[in-house]
Structure 1
Amino acid sequence: MPADATPDPYTDPLAFGQRLQLLRTRRGMTREQLGGLMGRTGSWVKAVETGRLKTPKLHLVLQFAELLRVRDLSELTGDQSVHVDLFVGPGHSRLPAVQAAINRFPLSDSAQAPSARHIRARLARAWQARHEAPNHRDVIGALLPDLIRDAQRAVRQSDRATDRRAAQAALSEVYSLAQFFVAYQPDAALLWRVAERGMIAAQESEDPHTIGVAAWLAAQAHRDSGHFDAADDVTAEALAYLTPLLPDTSDEVRAIAGALTFEAGYTAARRAETGTAWRYWDQARDMAARLPADYFHPVTSFGRAIMGAHAVTVAVELHSGGESVRQAAAADAMPIPSRPRRARHRIEEARAYQLDGQPDVALDTLARAHESAPETIKYNGYAKRIVLEESESRHPGRRQRASALAVKLGLLAA
């Protein structure tokens, strides 16, 4: 390695503090920002990074891992003997078939393609199944290979420009569905292929709603990888494109614009920009209020019912313990007409209670999330962090409950 090269914390035998500093700078966070989110100071973070303070205890290491979106705990600790995947779930049994369908580009396939209308009807059923099934990854993983192949055929076999644009819109939505399956699977490159192909197909479709959905998913992929500036750029570009259309457009376009507005606030919260985060949340709430009372966007879950859950997420990402619990008490998860989205909200509530020093309530809430949609919590790094932390609790009852949940999540052997 050249003398002036930046060391790689994933391969070089660095001390904990050095790894922390490199991962923090790669995420674009200052010491003051990271310290504030931990309830500490920037000088405390500096003391850890420079080795003046010894390696923190497990609960603080897990907090660092959560804030820096460390996918494998060994990336932060340097201990290669124990790998604990936080923001990567176990490879799903249907992943190989989905991978093969995404990676395959048959050019001599003579099978007749179904119409874009037929593909959209299948997509509508797939989204409904995803929202209703506790094992939603298994359900959509079974549907995706045929959907991907048929949508690709429809694009290739379209003769007229209007038919081709409709087929591209359907293909982009298939990739959107695939991104929900591929997210947090152990194949980051596949996620980016899906996100990029979805965006390209959306642009070719020239359909505002399709473009908005692809941008929403691309922004999430950037943010979850720690690329906050890229997430902001995608969101801003999409909103600049959609905003002039809003006075005279469909509810689905208004909903995707609202979802993108909240995403801008979500990213701001991840940056610890409190005022900006809540300002975007306020704007998104106003946009949701203009939709029908029972409206629920099938991809983003945007609508009036989701705004309470979004408020919890903003408060939690800002690490405001008391505000998080207040928002959790005000939010009602039951009107959310989606099992995986309700489970995700329960996980956010659990984060709120953990921040507020109520670990028993947090564990109870995670148990409810597991009942709603086991596959959601199994792939959620925040839930794993809480369970791992409490499995080390000094309170026997709490430790036992956390360990039992850890077994269900595959974090501990039975």
Structure 2
Amino acid sequence: MSRVVLAGLVGRSPSWVKAVECGRLQTPKLHTILRIADALRVGDLADLTGDQTTHVDLFAGPGHQRLPAVKAAVDAFLLPSDLEAPPTEHLQARLARAWRARHSAPNHRDVIGRLLPDLIRDAQLAVRQSETGAARRAAQAVLSEVYSLSQFFIAYQPDAHLLWRVAERGMVAARESEDPHALGVAAWLAAQAHRDSGPAHYDAADAVTMETLEYLQPLLTDADADVLAITGALRFEAGYTAARRGDNGTAWGHWDKAKAMSKSLPAGYYHPITSFSEAIMGAHAVTVAVELRAGGESVKQAAAADALTIPSLPRRARHRIEEARGYQLDGQPDTALATLDKAFESAPETIRYNGYAKGIILEGTESRTPARRRRAAELAVKIGLLAA
């Protein structure tokens, strides 16, 4: 990333960035360090400051208690030979219940972390024991979706290698399935994994997104709602990546196309994996504005969006965090903290593992305003960032 780009992302001049790099200026204050960490996607503040005595994980949580069991299921090499795979229809029903639980439970990682080990094993068995090509393709589609569910659990956990292993296996299974919806979902998650790896991976995120959109486009005339929705979700992902680049026109252009796609869906439709729907487009607008570092526009879009129309509790909490980022950009730190409180009420496990939320809260604990400092400290205790 060039100094000019980094300077723009943190609201400083290129000469200021150079002065910090060369040691001509003292170490910036915490809120500036957090902004730099945000722009560079640094996972641990110690990597940025050089102070190895203070480790603060920003983009990875401390590790969920069910992570070892999920990892063991993913890593298992030899499947039990004495077990019979359940029917594909049975696995599909279990998956549907797991997605519903994921969207409705405030402690969603705990819920799906409990379900995943058996789902992973049984889906792998179903592929292995398939006797016909059609049965194998159907089993691969289910396995790909199980890996997609796994990515939601593993995201923001301290195991990037496991996340990539699951993402790649999900893509392989989706290709083997020849199922457009499975391919779309796997690509949607792979694009996010690339983008969240930092600016050097934005091109890879774009390649996955645009190639999959090109594949899906001829199928849309006769497509069902799920395929239309994953196409719309991918279109928004293209806009999200463009916003990360700072490309205003491209970002909003993709958002407009995604908005049009959402209007083609049945009334009340809500995609069970991506949350794509008409209801989510307001939240997506907030995200685009935030990633473009447009504080005023972020607040404007937040006022227009209705979080309560988002049925998924973790997705609603994620939207609240994006709103908080907008308020923070707009110079409204107290409103940002109040919004993070709402995120915690919706889904504590979402805010607990979100680096942006941690950054806003940590900055609040350094405030010179006693009331703000106290509120931030209370929230830091609630999410486990500080000890009581």
TM normalised by structure 1 equals: 0.92
Q: Determine the structure 2 residue equivalent to 1:145.
A: 117
Which among 247, 252, 257 is matched to residue 231 of structure 2? 257
Which among 287, 301, 315 is matched to residue 275 of structure 2? 301
Runs of 4+ in 1 over 4 A off after TM superposition: none
Asked if residue 191 in structure 1 is aligned to residue 168 in structure 2, the reply is no
Q: Determine the structure 1 residue equivalent to 2:363.
A: 389
Q: Determine the structure 2 residue equivalent to 1:413.
A: 387
Change (3 A) 1:369 1:108: closer
Q: Determine the structure 2 residue equivalent to 1:229.
A: 203
Deviations 1:365-410 (A, max 9, x none): 0001001100000000000000000000000011001001111122
Deviations 1:171-226 (A, max 9, x none): 00000000000111111111011000000000000000000000000010011011
* Distance in 1, Cα, partners of 2:308 & 2:209: 29
Matched AA of 1:128: R
Deviations 1:69-127 (A, max 9, x none): 11111110111101000000121111111111110022452211011111010000000
Q: Is the 8 A contact 1:33 1:271 kept in 2?
A: no
1:235 Cα deviation from its structure 2 partner: 0.6
Asked if residue 52 in structure 1 is aligned to residue 24 in structure 2, the reply is yes
* Distance in 1, Cα, partners of 2:150 & 2:287: 24
Which among 327, 335, 343 is matched to residue 361 of structure 1? 335
**SS state of the match for residue 84, structure 1?**
coil
Asked if residue 77 in structure 1 is aligned to residue 52 in structure 2, the reply is no
Q: Determine the structure 1 residue equivalent to 2:3.
A: 31
1:41 Cα deviation from its structure 2 partner: 2.5
* Distance in 2, Cα, partners of 1:64 & 1:297: 35
Matched AA of 2:181: H
Q: Is the 8 A contact 1:72 1:85 kept in 2?
A: yes
Asked if residue 288 in structure 1 is aligned to residue 262 in structure 2, the reply is yes
* Distance in 2, Cα, partners of 1:45 & 1:291: 47
Q: Is the 8 A contact 2:62 2:157 kept in 1?
A: yes
Q: Is the 8 A contact 2:310 2:316 kept in 1?
A: yes
* Distance in 2, Cα, partners of 1:386 & 1:118: 44
Matches within 5 A, 1:316-331: 316-331=290-305
Asked if residue 349 in structure 1 is aligned to residue 323 in structure 2, the reply is yes
Asked if residue 176 in structure 1 is aligned to residue 148 in structure 2, the reply is yes
* Distance in 2, Cα, partners of 1:185 & 1:301: 21
* Distance in 1, Cα, partners of 2:21 & 2:249: 29
1:45 Cα deviation from its structure 2 partner: 1.9
1:54 Cα deviation from its structure 2 partner: 2.4
Matched AA of 2:224: S
* Distance in 2, Cα, partners of 1:300 & 1:108: 33
Q: Determine the structure 2 residue equivalent to 1:113.
A: 85
Which among 206, 213, 221 is matched to residue 185 of structure 2? 213
Matched AA of 1:155: V
Matched AA of 2:271: H
Matched AA of 1:215: A
Deviations 1:332-364 (A, max 9, x none): 110101000000000000001111111111000
TM normalised by structure 2 equals: 0.98
Which among 105, 125, 130 is matched to residue 158 of structure 1? 130
Structure 1 gap ranges (5+): 1-28
Of stretches 102-111 and 403-412 in structure 1, the one that deviates more from structure 2 is 102-111
Matched AA of 1:365: T
**SS state of the match for residue 197, structure 1?**
helix
Which among 20, 23, 37 is matched to residue 65 of structure 1? 37
* Distance in 2, Cα, partners of 1:334 & 1:353: 19
* Distance in 1, Cα, partners of 2:312 & 2:74: 26
Asked if residue 200 in structure 1 is aligned to residue 172 in structure 2, the reply is yes
The CA RMSD over aligned residues, in Å, is 0.9
1:286 Cα deviation from its structure 2 partner: 0.8
* Distance in 2, Cα, partners of 1:185 & 1:381: 11
* Distance in 2, Cα, partners of 1:281 & 1:293: 20
Structure 2 gap ranges (5+): none
Q: Is the 8 A contact 2:79 2:121 kept in 1?
A: no
* Distance in 1, Cα, partners of 2:74 & 2:166: 8
